[in-house]
């Protein structure tokens, strides 16, 4: 018994002092946390999320841009979006040459209007003459006004053609110049993009957004929402509905999500209630595989340098395996306790708000620890048995990788648990030993599993661990003294199940 | 403590590795366990160490079968060596002392005492991986002695040691023998075994093919041989009656004589026929006996 404790202590201290343990305990969670939080930091970093200016351009005076801006502000009144997206109206081209062009167009229009007036006036006069009694003077007057009408009509048609052409030209030029101006603003990074609103397209719900960077297309959603509201408003207005009512109807919804957990109910929080259990499972698995990995490589090394023979000349197989498993299990618990203490520390410093993690009760923490231990004992027994069969780390490398992949497999299936934590399929899968620890740890906060599931899963795990220990013992007893050749899968099965 | 191995058998699958093996190791004696590769030496050692259980037969220590107390009285030096490379010398010796049931403090004190005796005290805080191969070998020898064992089982104790360290270990082994320790030594270095061992057990195919003290073995294997060195044609010796076979080994000629041939007469005839720079009656070495015995069984 004394030697068992000596081995336990040695294994614990040996790995506790190792660089790999420090890496797994402090660096892995940091990397993991970084992977989770860097995108959030990125979103919140003011240097990255500098003020984004989105322009709005319209070629009429309906004030759509103003409406969009107003709606955007209203819709995002409580959102940080408002502080880093600003909508501005792009002024159309009012340069001297453009003004001159507008004057010419206006003059052309005046001329057309004047000719049109004259034409109408002659037409009125002819109508008046036509009502006079028939006679030579009437005929003469009609003929004279007819010539005049023809003359002026021709002049008016020509003026109209002239005006239409000029108007179109001016309009196109104005559009082009204005878009060019907006594009210059884009290129000089004075704004991130602009909305191009055309009255005809707008009424049909078509709006263009121009930008340089692909990421800006992903960030335009809040603006789209504001445009949508304005389009709907306009359509409703066209249907003759009251403006104040429209605004009331378009008030955004407040959707409260309440999750029932056993007898209690609480507001659903995606990060905490959905991702929280996965994070816990991942951490427990990091711990299980740190310890089992140490066990595996430790046995392999001791075998390759024949220290195992030296150990077996002093202690029994049982003492050696038990001491190793127990020592590294303690290391795993110690690692979990370090993380737990760090969580408490972060909570006391108000960096982490643990009050929202309602599923992290002492009862649940106890269950997590229990399933962690069961999982560790199960995987550790398998790792120690398999590890003892190989003489060189390179030989065992592929098997080790394969076993790790196999053990990560339950985490891949976690989505199934997240979706339906108490479905028949998930319940059945929870009773398959390699999956049991992961599935139960996930099910506890997500779906409050039925009490019998705890008894069945714990019972199955205990039986499986005992079996795994017996098989690992056989493998270890034979494997630890075999050198040189790599065992085949068939040989492993033969040794484990005592087949001849 | 006397080790008695009585009719021990061990079979793996269908292969009998140790077959009816019997021999004894007395206290104050060094017994050399010899044999070619695959003869069953390692399996025998593992059975003595209780790492493997014999299928049949018995291994006793002063009449008792192995128990925890006896286990703690055995010191073992395995053939291929390596210790925890990243750990400090002191920690590793201390750990093995603790595994042999030494109290914490005693384990520490004994470690320092041995390190000092082997002139390794300067390495006390060094990680083992930083030591030279020879020093690591010495350290392993030291680990085997940490609990002052009554029984020492050593597999190739001199392997890859330089001559100076070989001498150091040799002296220490002889000293331990003189202190009355029971020592079983397995080796391939027959010359080394000849110098160290008091008794030899030669095994092959799991069976004892020869055992006894060297003079006794040599007597049994005395095949009436002569060795001569000459610059002349060995063909001149062919006519001498009593010479059965002439064999050249390096610069010497080994003459195998008829069983009842008179060495003196043959010597005179040789001198008459050719000039010799060396002429002597040859006593077979352990190597010769080993080679002949193994050859005979194959």
CA angle, A448 then A411 then A490, to 5°: 120
Mean pLDDT is highest, among A356-360, B144-148, B160-164, for B144-148
Rg (CA), chain B: 23
What integer pLDDT is reported at residue B234 of this predicted model?
A: 80
**pLDDT at residue A499 tops 70:** no
> What are A271-309's pLDDT values in tens digits?
677 777 777 777 877 788 778 888 888 888 888 777 888
CA distances from B32 to A387, B18, B111, B143 (A): 34, 17, 28, 21
Residue A313 with chain B: CB contacts under 8 Å: 49-51, 71, 74, 76
CB A435 within 8 A of CB A375: no
Nearest to A306 among B81, B99, B101 (CB): B81
Tokens (6 digits) for A440: 């139960």
Contact status of B269 with chain A (Cβ, < 8 Å): no
Instruction: Please give the sequence-ordered ranges of beta strands (E in DSSP) within A369-489, or none if there are none.
Output: none
pLDDT-based confidence at A43, cuts 50/70/90? low
- Which residues does A390 contact at the CB level (< 8 Å), separation at least 6? A300, A303, A396, A399, A479, A486, A487
Residue B95 with chain A: CB contacts under 8 Å: 6, 10
Q: What percentage of chain B reaches a pLDDT higher than 90?
A: 32
Nearest to B82 among A305, A313, A500 (CB): A305
Contact status of A18 with chain B (Cβ, < 8 Å): yes
> What are A116-154's pLDDT values in tens digits?
999 999 889 888 888 888 888 888 888 888 888 899 999
- Which residues does B248 contact at the CB level (< 8 Å), separation at least 6? B234, B254
Q: What is the count of residue pairs from A and B with beta carbons less than 8 Å apart?
A: 54
What integer pLDDT is reported at residue A455 of this predicted model?
A: 93
- Which residues does B221 contact at the CB level (< 8 Å), separation at least 6? B284, B288, B289, B292, B293
Residue B85 with chain A: CB contacts under 8 Å: 305
CA pair distance A197, A195, nearest whole angstrom = 6
**3-class DSSP state of A30:** helix
DSSP label at residue B231: S
Mean pLDDT confidence for B27-48: 90
What integer pLDDT is reported at residue B75 of this predicted model?
A: 93
Q: What percentage of chain B reaches a pLDDT higher than 70?
A: 98
Mean pLDDT confidence for A182-194: 87
How do B225-229 and B182-186 pair as beta strands? unpaired
**pLDDT at residue A113 tops 60:** yes
> What are A211-254's pLDDT values in tens digits?
888 877 777 888 888 888 888 888 888 888 877 777 777 776 77
Buried b (16+ CB within 10 A) or exposed e, B52-76: bebeebebebeeeebeeebbbbbbb
CB A350 within 8 A of CB A40: no
- The answer to whether the CB atoms of A313 and B83 lie below 8 A apart is no
How many CA atoms, within 13 angstroms, populate the side-chain half-sphere of residue A333?
15
What are the structural domains, with CATH classification, of chain B?
3-218 (3.40.50.300), 223-282 (3.30.70.1510)
* CA-closest candidate to residue B93, choices B111, B79, B106, B76: B111
How many CA atoms, within 13 angstroms, populate the side-chain half-sphere of residue A269?
14
CA pair distance A305, B157, nearest whole angstrom = 16
CA distance B83 to chain A (A): 6
CA distance A462 to chain B (A): 29
Q: Which of B47, B86, B99, B146 should we substitute to test contact with A (largest number of A Cβ atoms within 10 Å)?
A: B99
- Which residues does A16 contact at the CB level (< 8 Å), separation at least 6? A331, A334
Mean pLDDT confidence for A416-432: 85
- The answer to whether the CB atoms of A307 and B72 lie below 8 A apart is no
Rg (CA), chain A: 41
Nearest to B51 among A304, A307, A313 (CB): A313
**3-class DSSP state of A275:** helix
pLDDT-based confidence at B295, cuts 50/70/90? low
Q: Which residue has the higher pLDDT, A355 or A239?
A: A239
DSSP label at residue B205: T
Mean of the per-residue pLDDT values of chain A:
81
What integer pLDDT is reported at residue B5 of this predicted model?
A: 92
Residue B46 with chain A: CB contacts under 8 Å: 309, 481
Q: Say what the alpha-carbon torsion angle A140, A145, A147, A151 is, to the nearest 10 degrees.
A: 170
How do B15-25 and B151-155 pair as beta strands? unpaired
Mean pLDDT confidence for B52-68: 90
CB A156 within 8 A of CB A108: no
Q: Say what the alpha-carbon torsion angle A263, A269, A270, A275 is, to the nearest 10 degrees.
A: -70
What integer pLDDT is reported at residue A46 of this predicted model?
A: 54
Residue B52 with chain A: CB contacts under 8 Å: 481
A208-211, strands of its sheet edge to edge: A85-89, A52-58, A193-197, A208-211
CA pair distance B79, B167, nearest whole angstrom = 18
DSSP label at residue A392: S
CB A15 within 8 A of CB B86: no
CA pair distance A425, A428, nearest whole angstrom = 5
> What are A160-173's pLDDT values in tens digits?
999 999 988 888 88
Residue B98 with chain A: CB contacts under 8 Å: 3, 6
Is the alpha carbon torsion for B230, B233, B234, B238 positive or negative?
A: negative
CA pair distance A401, B11, nearest whole angstrom = 35
ipTM confidence: 0.82
Beta-carbon neighbour count of residue B211 at 10 Å? 19
**pLDDT at residue A495 tops 80:** no
Mean pLDDT confidence for A52-66: 81
């Amino acid at each position: 018994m004394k030697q068992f404790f000596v081995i336990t202590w040695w294994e614990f201290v040996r790995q506790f002092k190792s660089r790999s343990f420090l890496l797994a305990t402090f660096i892995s969670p940091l990397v993991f946390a970084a992977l989770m939080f860097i995108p959030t930091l990125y979103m919140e970093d003011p240097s990255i999320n500098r003020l984004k200016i989105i322009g709005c351009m319209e070629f009429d005076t309906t004030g759509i841009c103003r409406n969009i801006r107003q709606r955007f502000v209203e819709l995002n009144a409580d959102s940080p979006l408002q502080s880093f997206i600003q909508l501005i109206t792009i002024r159309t081209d009012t340069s001297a040459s453009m003004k001159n062009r507008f004057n010419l167009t206006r003059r052309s229009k005046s001329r057309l209007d004047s000719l049109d007036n004259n034409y109408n006036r002659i037409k009125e006069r002819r109508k008046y003459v036509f009502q006079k009694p028939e006679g030579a003077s009437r005929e003469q007057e009609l003929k004279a006004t007819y010539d005049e009408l023809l003359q002026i009509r021709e002049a008016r048609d020509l003026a109209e053609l002239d005006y239409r052409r000029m108007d179109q030209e001016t309009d196109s030029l104005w559009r082009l110049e204005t878009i060019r101006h907006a594009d210059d603003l884009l290129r000089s990074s004075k704004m991130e993009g602009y909305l191009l609103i055309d009255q005809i397209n707008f009424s049909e719900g078509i709006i263009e957004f121009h930008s340089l960077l692909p990421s800006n297309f992903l960030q335009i959603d809040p603006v789209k929402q504001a445009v949508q509201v304005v389009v709907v408003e306009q359509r409703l207005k066209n249907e003759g509905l009251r403006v104040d009512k429209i605004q009331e109807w378009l008030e955004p919804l407040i959707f409260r999500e309440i999750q029932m957990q056993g007898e209690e109910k609480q507001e659903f929080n995606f990060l905490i209630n959905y991702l929280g259990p996965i994070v816990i499972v991942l951490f427990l698995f990091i711990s299980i595989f740190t310890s089992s990995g140490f066990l595996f490589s430790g046995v392999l090394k001791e075998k390759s340098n024949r220290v195992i023979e030296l150990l077996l000349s002093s202690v029994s197989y049982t003492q050696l395996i038990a001491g190793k498993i127990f020592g590294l299990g303690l290391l795993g618990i110690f690692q979990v306790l370090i993380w737990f203490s760090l969580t408490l520390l972060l909570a006391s410093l108000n960096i982490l708000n643990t009050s929202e993690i309602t599923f992290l009760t002492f009862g649940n923490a106890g269950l997590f620890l229990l399933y962690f231990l069961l999982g560790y004992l199960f995987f550790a027994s398998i790792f120690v048995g398999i590890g003892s069969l190989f003489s060189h780390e390179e030989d065992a490398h592929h098997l080790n990788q394969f076993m790790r992949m196999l053990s990560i497999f339950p985490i891949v299936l976690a989505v199934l648990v997240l979706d339906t934590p108490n479905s028949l399929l998930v319940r059945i899968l929870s009773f398959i030993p390699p999956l049991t620890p992961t599935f139960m740890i996930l099910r506890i906060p997500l779906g409050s599993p039925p009490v019998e599931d705890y008894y069945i899963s714990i019972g199955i795990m205990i039986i499986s661990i005992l079996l795994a220990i017996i098989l690992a013992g056989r493998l270890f007893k034979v494997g630890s003294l075999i050198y040189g050749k790599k065992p085949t899968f068939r040989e492993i099965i033969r040794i484990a199940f005592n087949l001849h | 403590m006397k080790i008695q191995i009585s009719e021990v058998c061990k079979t793996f699958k269908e292969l009998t590795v140790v077959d009816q093996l019997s021999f004894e190791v007395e206290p104050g004696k060094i017994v050399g366990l010899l044999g070619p590769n695959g003869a069953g030496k390692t399996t025998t050692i593992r059975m003595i160490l209780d790492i493997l259980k014999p299928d049949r037969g018995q291994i006793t220590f002063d009449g008792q079968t192995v128990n925890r107390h006896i286990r703690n009285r055995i010191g073992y030096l395995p053939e291929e060596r390596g210790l925890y490379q990243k750990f400090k010398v002191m920690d590793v010796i201390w750990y093995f002392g603790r595994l042999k049931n030494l109290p914490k403090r005693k384990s520490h004190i004994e470690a320092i005492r041995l390190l000092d005796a082997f002139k390794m005290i300067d390495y006390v805080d060094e990680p083992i991986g930083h030591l030279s191969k020879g020093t690591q070998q010495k350290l392993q020898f030291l680990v085997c002695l940490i609990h002052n064992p009554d029984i020492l089982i050593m597999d190739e104790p001199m392997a890859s040691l330089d001559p100076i360290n070989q001498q150091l270990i040799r002296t220490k082994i002889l000293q331990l023998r003189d202190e009355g320790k029971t020592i079983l030594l397995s080796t391939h270095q027959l010359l080394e075994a000849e110098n160290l061992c008091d008794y030899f057990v030669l095994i092959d195919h799991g069976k004892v093919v020869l055992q006894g003290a060297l003079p006794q073995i040599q007597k049994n294997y005395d095949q009436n041989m002569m060795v001569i060195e000459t610059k002349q044609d060995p063909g001149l010796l062919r006519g001498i009656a009593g010479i059965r076979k002439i064999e050249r080994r390096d610069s010497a000629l080994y003459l195998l004589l008829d069983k009842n041939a008179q060495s003196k007469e043959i010597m005179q005839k040789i001198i008459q026929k050719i000039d010799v720079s060396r002429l002597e009656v040859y006593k077979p070495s352990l190597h010769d006996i080993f080679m002949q015995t193994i050859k005979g069984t194959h």
